Amino acid sequence: MSYVDEVYNYVVEKNPAQPEFHQAVKEVLDSLRVVIDANEEEYRKDALLERLCTPERQILFRVPWVDDKGQVQVNNGFRIQFNSAIGPYKGGLRFHPSVNLGIIKFLGFEQIFKNSLTGLPIGGGKGGSDFDPKGKSDREIMAFCQSFMTELFRHIGADTDVPAGDIGVGGREIGYMYGQYKRIRDTYEGVLTGKGLTYGGSLARTQATGYGLLYLTEELLKCNGSDISGKTVVVSGAGNVAIYAIEKAQQLGAKVVTCSDSTGWIYDSEGIDVELLKEVKEVKRARLTEYAAARKSAEYHEGRGVWSIKCDVALPCATQNELQLEDAKQLVANGVQAVCEGANMPTTIEATEYLQQNKVMFVGGKAANAGGVATSALEMSQNSERLHWTFEEVDAKLKQIMVNIYHNIDDAAKKYGMEGNYVAGANIAGFLKVAEAMKAQGIV
């Protein structure tokens, strides 16, 4: 049996009932076959892949908090410190009822390669809780965040592990967690990213994942003889990634006609009104029905359905496994040219393969959504030098990073005989740097 297959079986056996983690590992290992096969004996002897697929440290903890009725609630807290070969652990915190150990491990595993692709010195980690922020009062959110940090603080630090946001964790939650960390440690340090601008946050961090997704998509289209300007784009999601992806797509001259949340989706024939969307989602924290109520050109539909809309470019920006084989078939039948992932692993393996077989340009999240974490690393740099860069400076660096990522993954795919397979290109380019650093640092 090849070393790749041995390790995949090992991961499934050692991590039962974690299908998302298995899926993330399978996608990476399958596309590394050419690289691994060429160095199989050496990698096997060093158990390089077993080490890569086993987190350096897994922290599981209880998060008790008191709700507004005086009732004590208990949630599970997680922080997976997956790989620190190229820098301190870095990755977001997700607060969502679907969170469990397997979900955090899949996200942490992806983060290793994504962070490597940014070209910046950050290792891979991820954390979160099964806490559901939806419908909670501000006081309840603060109580939860303070309790969460009262345990997490002992495991993190500006040179050890630097969490940030993800689904359910935005500026408000980062603020409450930062305040509690500072209070316990009595140290003012850049231990979290995505902070507010008054206490060490970076300009353009809020926009970074969505803007970065569009900078990469723009370069992808340009290098393949096309142009983002004038294209019809469908976006899923209505959170931070989706909002700023829509904003940048429109600035680049595209027309974005959809967005979605956990209960339904919008088709807006005039193009999404991004200011209205921000008002509904960022200020009122309301449902998309409010968007539809305020806009004549918008239709609201219950359930899922954005992938049924005819488009040139599709940008899944909601959550894992939201774009399935049937959706991919519909997109292809409607003539989609490119699919770039704003979320983490939103496309199933079967859907990815179908898109690739049908000559759709497909860029996975590890490359396409790396702009968020890259800008987090820029926030860490500014915190370290105790300086603050302008929006234009950060945005220009972000754009350059995304253009470089595109060319790195394109070159890696070509070098290993898989031209146009950007999934393989991203996994190979991300892996090689981490593998070299792990080898250099010995058996740790």
Give the residue numbers annotated as catalytic, written as ranges.
Answer: 126
Distances (CA, A) of 397 to 70, 372, 374, 376: 48, 12, 9, 12
- CB closest to ligand GLU, residue no: 92
Structure tokens at 229: 């300007």
Cα(159)–Cα(272) distance, rounded to whole angstroms? 41
Residues 352-391 that bind ligand GLU (CB under 6 A): 372-373, 376
- Does residue 92 interact with ligand GLU by CB under 6 A? yes
Give residues 138-197 in contact with ligand GLU (rule: CB under 6 A): 164, 166, 193
CB of 110 to ligand GLU, least distance (A): 8
Kindly tell me which of 90 and 231 has the beta carbon lying closer to ligand GLU: 90
* Cα–Cα distances in angstroms (integers) from residue 209 to residues 154, 244, 317, 344, 411, in the given order: 29, 7, 10, 11, 23
- For residue 114, give the nearest of 87, 133, 77 by alpha carbon: 87
Nearer Cβ to ligand GLU, position 232 or 347?
347
Outline where 82-189 has alpha helix (H): 101-117, 138-152, 171-185
Closest CA to 196 of 180, 173, 168, 162: 173
**Range 261-300, binding ligand GLU (CB under 6 A):** none
**C-alpha to C-alpha distance for 132 and 260, rounded to whole angstroms:** 19
User: Is 233 strand, coil or helix?
Assistant: strand
| Stretch near ligand GLU under the rule CB under 6 A, chosen from 86-94, 149-157, 314-322, 420-428 | 86-94
Q: Find out whether 204 and 211 touch, Cβ atoms under 8 Å.
A: yes
Smallest gap from Cβ 59 to ligand GLU, in A, equals: 17
C-beta of 68: minimal distance to ligand GLU in Å? 29
Choosing from 22, 79, 90, 231, the residue that interacts with ligand GLU (CB under 6 A) is: 90
Q: Are the beta carbons of 418 and 133 closer than 8 angstroms?
A: no
Nearer to ligand GLU, 156 or 438 (CB): 156
118 binds ligand GLU (CB under 6 A): no
| Amino acid at position 75, single letter | N
Shortest distance in whole angstroms from residue 193 CB to ligand GLU: 5
Nearer to ligand GLU (CB atom), residue 292 or residue 370: 370
Q: Would you give the binding string for ligand GLU spanning residues 400-419, x where CB under 6 A is met?
A: --------------------
Which residues, numbered 51-70, are part of the site for ligand GLU (CB under 6 A)?
A: none
CB of residue 306 to ligand GLU, shortest distance in Å? 21
Q: Is residue 120 close enough to count as binding ligand GLU by CB under 6 A?
A: no
Helix (H) or strand (E) holding 76: strand 72-83
